[in-house]
Amino acid sequence: MAKQTVYDLNKDALNDTLKSLGQPAFRTTQILDGLYSKLYQDFNHFANIPSSLRASLAEMFVIDPLHVEDTIVSKDRLTEKVLFTLGDGLQVESVLMRYSERNSLCISTQVGCPMGCVFCATGQMGYMRNLSPGEIVGQVIWAMRKLRAEDSTLTNVVYMGMGEPFLNFEGTLASIANLTNPDMLNFGSRRITVSTVGIIPKIAMFAREHPQVNLAISLHSPEDLLRSELVPANRIYPLKSLIQASRDYVERTHRRITFEYALIQDVNDSPELALKLAGLLTGMLCHVNLIALNPSKEYAVQGSSKDRVLTFQSVLEEHGIPVTVRLRRGIEIHAGCGQLARSRQPE
Ligand code: SAH
Ligand code: SF4
C-alpha cells in the first residue's frame, strides 16, 4: 500500500507522532515550518532536525502525495491544468488560474464523482474514491511551490475541481483545517470557496465548522423537474429544502452565498426561468454566477449564446439579484469547470 502523506496529519496528530518517536515538542514547529512555509519536498531538506528523525519520518510518510503526470498551459499562459497521479495510480486534476490581481487554484476532492450531473465530465466518468486530506492539501502545496518560483503567491482556493466536496466531508473539512490553521498553511478562510451540488444535511454542519469559508451551491435550474434531469441529486435534495437550507446558512453565518448557474442553450436559459430564479432567491444575501456551459463529450448541447446569457443576466438584475457572468477560462486545454476529466477520455 502507498505510504501516507504527512500532509494528512493535523497538528495534534503530528505532535503525537513526534512524541511517540521520543522527540521534544519544538520539533512539531520545525516540521510544520518546513512543510508549510519552506515547502520542502524531501525530509532530507530539514537541516535543523536530526538525521535519525528524518529517516524515521521518511520510513513512515511521503511528503508529496502527488506525482505531476502532465501539465497543459493555455496559449496566453494564464491557465494551467495539471494532471496528478496518486499513490495508487489513480489520477486527478487541478487548475491554476492567474489573474492580474490574484491567483486562484481549483482543486479536486474525489477521483470521479458519484452524482452524475448530465453535463459534467467528472460525473460522466463515475466514482472511484475520496481523496485524503493530504491529497487535497498537496494540490495547494503544488501551486504554492509553482507560484513561489515565479515570485508570486496563491491568493484563492476553490473546491470546484473533480468530485463533490460534501460527499468527502471529512476529507474536505480536514484539508480546510490544515490550510487555515495559523501554525500550518495559515491561508485565509475567506479566500477559500467550497462548491456543492447541494447535499443539504452538510450545509448546516459546514456553517458550524467553517463559517468564514465561502459556500457556493450549483443550482442550474429554478424548477425541480428540470433540475432533477440535469442534477440527479435534486431528486433527493429538492429545491424547496435546498433554498431553505441556503437561507438558514445565511442567517447563521451572515455570509453571502453564491449560486452557480451553467447556462445551456434552450434548456435552462429562458427569460422565464431567470424570472423564476429571481423569485426563488429574492431577499437572500446571495450572488449568482452565470457561466455558459462547456459542452462535454456525452452531453451534446451547447452553452448559451452571448445574447441569451446577457438577457438572463438582465432579468436577474432587474429584480435586484446580484449577478456576474463568468468567463470561460482554459477552454482550449479542457480546463473549464466540469471538463477536468475530459482530456483523458478518447475523443
Ligand atoms: N461537485 C461540486 C463541485 C465541482 S463541479 C459542484 O457540483 O458544485 C464545479 C462547478 O462546475 C459546479 O458548479 C458544476 O455544476 C460546474 N460544471 C460542471 N460541468 C460543467 C460544464 N460542462 N460547464 C460549466 N460548468 C460545469
Ligand atoms: Fe459531481 Fe459537481 Fe460534476 Fe455534479 S457537477 S457530477 S456534483 S463534480
Are 133 and 11 in contact by the 8 Å Cβ rule? The answer is: no
CA of 112 to the centre of ligand 1 (A): 12
Question: Is residue 51 over pLDDT 70?
Answer: yes
CA of 129 to the centre of ligand 1 (A): 18
86/22 same-domain check: no
* pLDDT for 188: 98
Active site residue 332: no
Question: Is residue 109 over pLDDT 70?
Answer: yes
CA of 105 to the centre of ligand 2 (A): 18
pLDDT confidence tier of residue 295, bands split at 50, 70 and 90? confident
Q: Is 120 in the pocket of ligand 1 (CB under 6 A)?
A: yes
Domain end point (choices 39, 62, 85): 62
213/143 same-domain check: yes
Question: Is residue 343 over pLDDT 70?
Answer: no
177/142 same-domain check: yes
CA of 40 to the centre of ligand 1 (A): 33
58/71 same-domain check: no
28: CB partners within 8 A, 6+ apart: 11, 14, 15, 18
The 10s digit of each residue's pLDDT in 249-289 is 999 999 999 999 999 999 999 999 999 999 999 999 999 99
88/194 same-domain check: yes
Question: Is residue 338 over pLDDT 70?
Answer: no
226/91 same-domain check: yes
CATH number reported for the structural domain that contains residue 40 in this entry: 1.10.150.530
51/74 same-domain check: no
In the predicted model, what is the mean pLDDT of residues 318-340? 77
Question: Is residue 114 over pLDDT 80?
Answer: yes
Active site residue 93: yes
39/147 same-domain check: no
| CA neighbor of 293 nearest in space, from 275, 269, 271 | 269
User: Of residues 129 and 334, which shows the higher confidence score?
Assistant: 129
44/137 same-domain check: no
How many domains is the chain built from?
Answer: 2
Domain of residue 44 covers 4-62
> Annotated catalytic residue: which of 93, 135, 164, 260?
93
How far is it, in rounded angstroms, from Cα 330 to Cα 79? 6
Test site for ligand 1: of 218, 231, 342, most ligand atoms within 8 A of the Cβ: 218
* pLDDT for 346: 37
92/229 same-domain check: yes
272/144 same-domain check: yes
57/114 same-domain check: no
User: Of residues 48 and 343, which shows the higher confidence score?
Assistant: 48
Question: Is residue 247 over pLDDT 60?
Answer: yes
How far is it, in rounded angstroms, from Cα 126 to Cα 113? 6
Q: Which ligand is in closest contact with the Cα of 218?
A: 1
CATH number reported for the structural domain that contains residue 112 in this entry: 3.20.20.70
Region at 79 (left for phi over 0; alpha for psi -120 to 50; beta for the rest): beta
Q: Is 338 in the pocket of ligand 1 (CB under 6 A)?
A: yes
Q: Which atom of ligand 1 is nearest to the CA of 299?
A: 22
The 10s digit of each residue's pLDDT in 313-323 is 999 999 999 99
Q: Is 7 exposed, middle or buried (0-12, 13-18, 19+ CB in 10 A)?
A: buried
Supply the mean pLDDT for the chain.
94
